[in-house]
């Protein structure tokens, strides 16, 4: 009985030490990395790069990024917003951008790129990509 308690105690402390040193790395590996920036607004319309518009069988949508304070860093999550109308840029100022209307008012930074498919409410890692 005493050997069993010693073994479980040793395993418990090994697990605690492992997650103390490698927990952040494991979190980073398991979450998608995203690049987000604020949409360009002109004359009350939003303009986004084409890479910011995601599509599935139900239509087009964008993801916005929101942050909350975690224990040791900012924790980001994404919110899905349905897009009602997508038009090519009619101003001539934004090459590679599209004009969009959304069902919801998009507030905050919009996800431009992601390393993995996203879903509403998912936790992500914010990256500064070039």
| Residue 15 near residue 69, CB atoms below 8 Å | no
Residue (of 75, 66, 54) closest to 107 by Cα position: 66
d(CA 120, CA 54): 12
Q: What is the mean pLDDT of residues 8-21?
A: 92
Query: What tens digit of pLDDT does each residue of 48-83 get?
Result: 888 888 887 778 888 989 888 877 778 899 998 888
d(CA 124, CA 68): 12
- Residues paired with 100 in a beta bridge: 46, 86
pTM, two decimals, is: 0.74
């Amino acid at each position: 009985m005493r050997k069993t308690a010693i073994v479980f105690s040793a395993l418990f402390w090994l697990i605690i030490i492992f997650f103390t040193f490698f927990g952040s790395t494991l979190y980073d590996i398991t979450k998608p990395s995203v690049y987000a920036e604020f949409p360009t607004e002109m004359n009350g319309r939003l303009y986004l790069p084409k890479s910011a518009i995601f599509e599935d069988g139900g239509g087009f949508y964008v993801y916005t990024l929101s942050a909350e304070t975690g224990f040791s860093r900012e924790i980001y999550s994404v919110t899905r917003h349905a897009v009602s109308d997508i038009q090519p840029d009619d101003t001539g100022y934004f090459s590679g951008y599209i004009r969009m209307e959304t069902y919801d008012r998009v507030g905050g930074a919009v996800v431009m790129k992601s390393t993995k498919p996203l879903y509403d409410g998912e936790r992500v890692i914010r990256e500064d990509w070039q």
